[in-house]
Amino acid sequence: MAESRDDEQLSRRLTVVAALGFVLIVPPFLARFDRLDQVFGVPVLAAYLFLVWAIVIGLVAVIGGRSR
């Protein structure tokens, strides 16, 4: 079976998500949150990384789930 348009589109969208995720977890974004403070009782950096992580997972789930 040949590559369908849907599959191609899905690949492209997910690639964008991956690129976004990568950019968010490396400096300079990373360095921006790399400080001693806490937020909701959790270190800022950890909170930031887990948030980005959750967003990426969520995006992949939504995008992957919408494609048929």
Residues that bind other proteins (CB under 8 A): 1-3, 7, 10-11, 14-15, 17-18, 21-22, 25-27, 30-31, 34-38, 40-46, 49-50, 53-54, 56-58, 60-61, 64-65, 67
Are the CB atoms for 33 and 48 separated by under 8 Å? yes
**Smallest distance from the beta carbon of 58 to other proteins, in angstroms?**
8
Structure letter (DSSP) for residue 47: H
Strand segments, DSSP code E, in the chain are 38-39, 42-43
CB of 17 to other proteins, least distance (A): 5
Pair of tokens at residue 46: 């950890």
